[in-house]
């Protein structure tokens, strides 16, 4: 049984596996430690469309009555990176590549439980998309609620 107390970043690898299984149109899915557009573009090159999974830290809700208990949510970002050199990589062409994939990613992850403790991922407000030359980056944010008590 894998829990956050066993491996705090275990959901990242599970998210990668889930996306590989559920969204076969993605040519690459992996974790990275940055959301920098140039780093993502360098890593994916000709492997677009790709999904990059990034741990974005925790949102903690402290309870002064129980200082040893941590409650909050892990934040995970899945960045869909698409490439389209047609028409100079304009936003319309990039959106045409990303549009059909975004609901597949959301459907694969929203409500799915990446750990054995039964807490599902839920979509949450995220960041705006970004664009480079012939690249588009479409972040989707998810949170995984937790309550942990040290062993």
- Kindly calculate the radius of gyration of the chain based on its CA atoms and give it in whole angstroms: 17
Q: How confident is the model at residue 141 (pLDDT cuts 50, 70, 90)?
A: very high
pLDDT at 131: 81
> Taking residues 113-129, what's their average pLDDT?
89
Residue 5 lies inside a defined structural domain of this protein = no
**Total number of domains in the chain:** 1
pLDDT tens for residues 58-114?
888 777 787 777 788 999 999 999 987 665 556 677 788 899 999 999 999 999 999
Residue 4 lies inside a defined structural domain of this protein = no
The more confidently predicted of residues 4 and 52 is 52
pLDDT tens for residues 13-48?
999 999 999 999 999 898 887 666 667 777 777 788
End-to-end CA distance of the chain: 15
Domain with 127 in it: 10-148
Residue 2 lies inside a defined structural domain of this protein = no
The more confidently predicted of residues 7 and 25 is 25
Q: From start to end of the chain, where are the E strands?
A: 28-31, 50-60, 70-83, 121-124, 130-132, 135-148
pLDDT at 143: 96
Provide the pairing of β-strand 121-124 with 50-60.
Answer: unpaired
| Structure tokens belonging to residue 65 | 């009555």
Residue 1 lies inside a defined structural domain of this protein = no
Dihedral of CA atoms 138, 41, 8, 13 in degrees, nearest 10, equals 90
The CATH code of the domain that includes 61 is 3.30.2000.10
pTM score of the predicted model: 0.86
Residue 25 lies inside a defined structural domain of this protein = yes
Residue 137 lies inside a defined structural domain of this protein = yes
């Amino acid at each position: 049984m894998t829990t956050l107390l066993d491996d705090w970043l275990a959901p990242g690898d599970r998210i990668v596996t889930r996306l590989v299984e559920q969204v076969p149109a993605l040519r690459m899915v992996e974790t990275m430690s940055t959301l920098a557009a140039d780093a993502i573009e360098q890593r994916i090159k000709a492997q677009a469309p790709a999904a990059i999974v990034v741990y974005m830290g925790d949102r903690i809700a402290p309870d002064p009555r129980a200082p040893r208990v941590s409650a909050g949510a892990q934040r995970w970002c899945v960045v869909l990176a698409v490439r389209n050199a047609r028409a100079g990589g304009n936003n319309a062409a990039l959106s045409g590549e990303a549009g059909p994939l975004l609901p597949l990613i959301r459907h694969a992850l929203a409500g799915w439980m990446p750990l054995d403790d039964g807490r599902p991922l839920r979509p949450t407000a995220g960041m705006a998309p970004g664009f480079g030359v012939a690249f588009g980056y479409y972040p989707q944010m998810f949170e995984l609620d937790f309550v942990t008590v040290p062993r």
